[in-house]
A and B are shown apart, each in its own frame.
Chain A
Amino acid sequence: MKNKTVYVLSLAFPALLLLSCSEKREQDITHRADYAPYLAPRADASLQQCNEEITFWKNKQQRTPDSETCRLRLAGLLSSRFMLTGDIEDVFVSDSLYQSVLASSGNENASVHRALAANAITQHQFGEAYQQIQKALAIGEGKAASLFMLVDVNLELGDYDGAQRALNKIATRNLFPYIVRKAKIKDHEGDLDSAIVLMETALVKAKDNASLLLWTQSNLADMYGHAGRVEEAYRLNLAILETNPDYDYALKGIAWIAFSHDHRYAEARSIALYINSKRATPDMHLLLAKIADAENNMEEKMKELRVFYSLATSPRYGDMYNKYLALVEVEEFSNPAKTIALAQREIHNRPTPQSYDLLAWGYYHDGKFAEALQVAEDFLVDKTFEPDVLYHLGMIYEANGQHGKGSDYLNRAKESSFELGPVVAKKIEKALKSS
């Protein structure tokens, strides 16, 4: 009986898709056979190697407790291990090791300031990261590396002119670190085509460095998805996993394609659950909540959201999840006051258009449409081209009775339905129908 129901539903589903899509019929991109080998538990070779190196340097440190080299090596390895496991405690220990090296070397160590800046970026402490980079620049050594990180920090802080100025100071412009930052700036400017061409150039240059290659591939895969080139994004994610089966970010990318493009919710869930079994971070629960939402399973959705909330509000994560907490507060818990407070905190930390978007979105849900519009026009319009902001702008203009602009933004957001996910895509459709 149960099987029969599933069978009938599976027949009905493509038919519904046909009815609901004016374009050609959707083709599934993801196939379980492609990625199933990466869902089997196995020893994580990168993590194993990292742990071995940590053990090595800890042993050496016991023999030579004053060794600066041991502390620097351990600090770097702990930061690397955080990237593999998501265990934020490693970053805290890494920070304290770097600080102890600075204390003994009289602060004259630019590379340590850069490493501290990288840790601060990881923890979304962008003001602290900026201060550390300024110290590195004042010391002078490794100026190009410091300038590249200044570009990164300025982008996080929303100082796009500052990012461009820092990049302009780099003389050698045909090398990997310059090209990827140029790509980031182009992407911010909404020139995705140029960003992709630059990232593809960077990919060629990274081919001899395994970790840079994976990093570049995963960024390029995201950009392909952003541009609606979902098949290419999928192929690239598979290529990453072929090189490194434990590169969970690529697996997450495939989960998103299964979810947002193919609407294979059970598949997306099984991938997300696998990733979550390996590294328990708040992110996966947010994805699981979105999947449950798309399935209209509100009980499951609220369960996942509560898990996300309790993890993400842990003091050890500091401000790392502010954006997603702010969105959840207003969209799921109907708590715009908390969203507005979180938005103001984010604006203080990093006055980017994305931070102001949270404020406008909070006002919008609080029924303060005029305030929302004011923030939108002062800080969002023509300042960012992120699809979620375009969607919010559409809703804010609609609420203010400006239907022309409203439907314009909603239509632009709709073009990025893949990136926004099926639940938001449906909301956009609904808003367009009623506008």
Chain B
Amino acid sequence: MKLKYNNLLALGALLVLAACNNDDDATPTPVTYVQEDQMARPAINTVFVSAADKDSFNGTIPSAQGAAFATKFKDKLLALNAGYTTNLLGLNATDFTGVLATDVLSVALTGATTFYDGTNVLTGRKLNDDVITVELILLFGGPDATMNPTLTDDHVDANDKAFLTTFPYLASPH
């Protein structure tokens, strides 16, 4: 009978290691955690992080991401939009890419919660926010969202199935 080894495909899981120890006096085996992934703004990650940097970006804690990746983000931004000056947030290329490279979702503790509602920008994120369009506006729309009008809308204005009003709020798979 031959040994068989199936292919291992799904390896992304983060395994938490627990030690079995019957001896109460023994020093507990240290538990090691490894950051494998993170997902605050996956579209930004997809566009701005090169394939070669993906692993290290996903494994870097957000507070260290700005220092490590802001320059690369800035290069990418200017490669995508050489005419970038500032955007709706009033941020120049250096400041904006510093924000982008820190992969967290910001939220305002007071006021409206929205990715962008025409007035408030990045004060949070709702399921029905047109996130990609907002990101395109910030990248290409210039200081008043009017520049490069052909590049600032993904023309997907709503989910193709209504969201739920109760948990889990997302629409069922369809």
Sorting the interface of chain B by its residue count into under 10, 10 to 19, 20 to 34 or 35 or more gives 20 to 34
Asked if residues A141 and B54 are in contact (CB atoms below 8 Å), the reply is yes
Asked if residues B7 and A184 are in contact (CB atoms below 8 Å), the reply is no
Q: Give Cα A253 to B2, complex, Å.
A: 10
Q: Give Cα A174 to B32, complex, Å.
A: 9
Asked if residues A215 and B1 are in contact (CB atoms below 8 Å), the reply is no
Chain A contact residues: helix, strand, loop or mixed: helix
Residues in B neighbouring A209, C-beta threshold 8 A: 13
Asked if residues B12 and A145 are in contact (CB atoms below 8 Å), the reply is yes
Residue of B nearest to A76 (CB): B9
Q: Return the contact of B1 from the options A143, A204, A256 (Cβ within 8 A).
A: A256
Q: Give Cα A286 to B20, complex, Å.
A: 44
Sorting the interface of chain A by its residue count into under 10, 10 to 19, 20 to 34 or 35 or more gives 35 or more
Residue B174 CB within 8 A of the other chain = yes
Residue A14 CB within 8 A of the other chain = no
Q: Give Cα A419 to B173, complex, Å.
A: 47
CB distance from A80 to the nearest CB of B (A): 9
Residues in A neighbouring B6, C-beta threshold 8 A: 83, 215, 219
Asked if residues A148 and B11 are in contact (CB atoms below 8 Å), the reply is yes
When each residue 50-85 of chain B gets 1 if its CB lies under 8 Å from chain A and 0 otherwise, what string results?
111111000000000000000000000000000000
Residue B15 CB within 8 A of the other chain = yes
CB distance from A310 to the nearest CB of B (A): 22
Q: Give Cα A219 to B6, complex, Å.
A: 9
Asked if residues A177 and B7 are in contact (CB atoms below 8 Å), the reply is no
Q: Return the contact of A140 from the options B4, B54, B174 (Cβ within 8 A).
A: B54
Known: A140-B51, A141-B52, A144-B55. A218 touches B15 (CB 8 A): no
Residues in A neighbouring B17, C-beta threshold 8 A: 174-175, 205
Q: Return the contact of B4 from the options A118, A122, A139, A218 (Cβ within 8 A).
A: A218
Asked if residues B1 and A139 are in contact (CB atoms below 8 Å), the reply is no
Asked if residues B3 and A226 are in contact (CB atoms below 8 Å), the reply is yes
Residue A152 CB within 8 A of the other chain = yes
Asked if residues A140 and B1 are in contact (CB atoms below 8 Å), the reply is no
Known: A176-B15, A226-B3. A141 touches B55 (CB 8 A): yes
Known: A174-B32, A226-B3. A140 touches B8 (CB 8 A): no
Q: Give Cα A83 to B32, complex, Å.
A: 34
Q: Give Cα A175 to B33, complex, Å.
A: 10
Q: Return the contact of B11 from the options A56, A144, A249, A418 (Cβ within 8 A).
A: A144
Asked if residues B3 and A172 are in contact (CB atoms below 8 Å), the reply is no
Residue B164 CB within 8 A of the other chain = no
Residues in A neighbouring B34, C-beta threshold 8 A: 172, 175
CB distance from B143 to the nearest CB of A (A): 33
When each residue 253-297 of chain A gets 1 if its CB lies under 8 Å from chain B and 0 otherwise, what string results?
100100010000000000000000000000000000000000000
Known: A108-B51, A174-B32, A205-B17. A145 touches B4 (CB 8 A): no
Which residues in chain B, 33-57, are within 8 Å of chain A measured between CB atoms? Answer: 34, 50-55
Which residues in chain A, 322-340, are within 8 Å of chain B measured between CB atoms? Answer: none
Asked if residues B5 and A142 are in contact (CB atoms below 8 Å), the reply is no
Q: Return the contact of A139 from the options B2, B32, B51, B174 (Cβ within 8 A).
A: B51
Residues in B neighbouring A108, C-beta threshold 8 A: 51
Residues in A neighbouring B173, C-beta threshold 8 A: 56
Q: Give Cα A180 to B47, complex, Å.
A: 34
Asked if residues A222 and B1 are in contact (CB atoms below 8 Å), the reply is yes
Asked if residues A222 and B4 are in contact (CB atoms below 8 Å), the reply is yes
Asked if residues A180 and B174 are in contact (CB atoms below 8 Å), the reply is no
Asked if residues B1 and A177 are in contact (CB atoms below 8 Å), the reply is no
Q: Give Cα A212 to B55, complex, Å.
A: 23
Asked if residues A110 and B51 are in contact (CB atoms below 8 Å), the reply is yes
CB distance from B157 to the nearest CB of A (A): 16
Which residues in chain A, 133-159, are within 8 Å of chain B measured between CB atoms? Answer: 139-145, 148-149, 152
Asked if residues A140 and B11 are in contact (CB atoms below 8 Å), the reply is no
Residue A406 CB within 8 A of the other chain = no
Residues in B neighbouring A232, C-beta threshold 8 A: none
Q: Give Cα A239 to B49, complex, Å.
A: 45
Which residues in chain A, 180-215, are within 8 Å of chain B measured between CB atoms? Answer: 180, 184, 187, 204-205, 209, 211-212, 215
Residue of B nearest to A59 (CB): B174
Residue of B nearest to A219 (CB): B5
Q: Return the contact of A260 from the options B1, B4, B52 (Cβ within 8 A).
A: B1
Q: Return the contact of B55 from the options A115, A143, A174 (Cβ within 8 A).
A: A143
Q: A139-B52, A140-B52, A219-B6 are in contact. List 10 more A-B contacts (CB 8 A).
A: A76-B9, A83-B6, A108-B51, A139-B51, A148-B11, A175-B34, A187-B3, A205-B17, A209-B13, A215-B6
Where the two chains meet, the residues of A that have a C-beta atom closer than 8 Å to any C-beta of B are 56, 60, 76, 83, 108, 110, 114-115, 118, 121-122, 139-145, 148-149, 152, 172, 174-177, 180, 184, 187, 204-205, 209, 211-212, 215, 218-219, 222-223, 225-226, 249, 253, 256, 260, 418-419, 421
6 A-B pairs whose Cβ atoms sit less than 8 Å apart in the complex:
A142-B55, A148-B11, A152-B8, A172-B32, A176-B15, A204-B20
Where the two chains meet, the residues of B that have a C-beta atom closer than 8 Å to any C-beta of A are 1-13, 15, 17, 20, 32, 34, 50-55, 173-174
Q: What are the 5 A-B residue pairs with the smallest beta carbon separation, nearest first? A: A140-B52, A141-B54, A141-B51, A139-B51, A118-B7
